Structure 1
């Protein structure tokens, strides 16, 4: 690989002159610039961005650490974050935490070793702020996305409770009283808040308050498949189910298929998290769709603001959601659109004020 010294020798100039030509830091005579550019082309020289960044003690790389990249939800979120950062001239380093606190710590440590300028993190269910203090102790700004904790940093997360309340209310309006909930990984705020929404409607509408109706999906397709398969196999099975993330929706659909139960004829189904291909299912899935682009845009704005020296107090911002009302709830393909409260969806799909 050619070096800047090789270019200087080929052009008959000093290394500093090559640097000025490449970085535009000083006016260089046209004939000298032409010789340098010809040498760069002839030697196929590429600037070492990493070495330059390390010399300046800064990089234009941002770490993105999320759990389970195989989850249908996190792929589009990472893509949205990557797009926002690339538009601003940053390179993205992605790591899969596996939803394991110890692995999360190792992934983040490797990112810090790579001198990332900042970190966007969907945290695991770790105690004590998880890895956030570790990152902040090294002077690296961090913004949490999708999930929030008690850590003292900026956090951009979706509305969780209100959309689930609306889904369960809809099932109750359709006459269902025995409604199951497939719950995510214990210890996550998303799991707790979505279950709070489910339980609030169960209490308010007088639905069957059987603890066995809360099924341990643990945010994974295979766990959801086992839990739903066991709960719906026997007598007195639920007539409806709300699934609280899209990986578990896949497992739920597999379990119902294996049991020979049809959606929505035998079991009405609604879910939190939409799929890009959810309307390809038959029946099409009634689902809450998160504004991933809005979440990514706001998280990147906050992170770059911190990199620029913003010193305001940490903020927690909630990104609104929308409803895709389809047929899996049992309404039929010609069902009118449901009313979607303003508390759940802002008219412009924007970010409401921090609570």
Structure 2
């Protein structure tokens, strides 16, 4: 098996130069770099990652803890993380915390024991133990999708601390869904909200309230029901909203899993979308264009969020002392027909579960600024 010394002899350079070319640790003249790469290819040289990690104390691996199995939304984020990590020459170790605080801590500890260079984590609704561990162990970490506020669910001080964060905008896009429905004449707009304790939940509720205020509508606490960020909970929440004496004429679901539960509840009651009730969802997903009518939604930049998290983590590894920051990525309003805008048939809408054949029609509008907030 060829060694780095063999590559150096073939290219007519020192072993140190070969190392700089392969590891990117120092600029090398273009013709010298080309000679080294040609020698690597001709000899079939493969770098010894284990040996390199012993010398550099780096494993060139990233730990990713997201609930991708239990939450399909994270699947696209995972794809973005994987592609960006591979492009940067990093391997990826993946663990699913199942949105359970105790399991979350265990899987992060296991990833840390595998000597990953840093971690990307989507924290649960009760991240106190996780945050304490990451701080205590000084693990370079990027929090993904869900941000830490000044306090945790129990009032304990958490704060952003040393952690970078990469999230989508939540409040502004949610407000746009509300104002859009209000502009169509709806005065009773229900919200199936996510799991309490998650920043995405609180930010989307805040956006819902902002949209009501901007539309001159009063806030009615009865119209906001938790769907616990999952399908079964959303089905129960939707049923509760529909059972109100003054039921909503429009409904917003705060993530894709809850959209499925809401549609199930509507179907069981024989309600038609948008003829009987308008429906919009935060979190576009692959099936949103396969319903009739097609679902109006807020699309999050899932893959870009994952890729951005990798870039931020690599910046942290290169510059450990810099101040932590939060990157917010803009969402897109995907305008289809479930909100009640003209595109559905003359009967006022198809059953909520019926499939559609046609492709989607989108009207992208950037919802927010993109940047880093220290």
Output the TM-score relative to the length of structure 2: 0.77
CA contact under 8 A between 2:334 and 2:364: conserved in structure 1? no
Match of 2:167 among 157, 160, 164: 157
CA distance in 2, matches of 1:89, 1:52: 13
Matches within 5 A, 1:296-315: 296-315=306-325
Match of 1:223 among 233, 236, 248: 233
Deviation larger for 63-72 or 93-102: 63-72
CA contact under 8 A between 1:132 and 1:151: conserved in structure 2? no
SS of corresponding position for 1:207: coil
CA distance in 2, matches of 1:60, 1:127: 26
SS of corresponding position for 1:270: strand
Q: Could you tell me which runs of 5 or more consecutive residues in structure 1 were left unpaired when the two chains were aligned.
A: 1-6, 8-17, 31-36
Deviation larger for 287-296 or 239-248: 287-296
CA contact under 8 A between 2:325 and 2:372: conserved in structure 1? no
Matches within 5 A, 1:153-232: 153-207=163-217, 209-232=219-242
Shift of 1:145: 1.2
Deviation larger for 286-295 or 87-96: 286-295
CA distance in 2, matches of 1:204, 1:47: 59
Q: Could you tell me which runs of 5 or more consecutive residues in structure 2 were left unpaired when the two chains were aligned.
A: 13-39, 149-158, 345-360
- Measured at CA, do residues 281 and 263 of structure 1 come closer, stay the same or move farther in structure 2, by a change above 3 Å? same
Shift of 1:47: 7.7
Alignment of 1:20 with 2:1, yes or no, is no
Match of 2:288 among 278, 292, 297: 278
CA contact under 8 A between 1:147 and 1:189: conserved in structure 2? yes
SS of corresponding position for 1:314: coil
- Measured at CA, do residues 257 and 51 of structure 1 come closer, stay the same or move farther in structure 2, by a change above 3 Å? farther
CA contact under 8 A between 1:67 and 1:99: conserved in structure 2? yes
CA contact under 8 A between 1:271 and 1:287: conserved in structure 2? yes
Shift of 1:46: 8.8
Shift of 1:296: 2.3
CA contact under 8 A between 2:78 and 2:303: conserved in structure 1? no
CA distance in 2, matches of 1:51, 1:345: 46
CA distance in 1, matches of 2:101, 2:54: 29
CA distance in 1, matches of 2:362, 2:234: 29
CA RMSD of aligned residues (A): 2.9
Deviation larger for 58-67 or 181-190: 58-67
- Measured at CA, do residues 229 and 29 of structure 1 come closer, stay the same or move farther in structure 2, by a change above 3 Å? closer
Output the TM-score relative to the length of structure 1: 0.81
- Measured at CA, do residues 56 and 182 of structure 1 come closer, stay the same or move farther in structure 2, by a change above 3 Å? same
SS of corresponding position for 2:78: helix
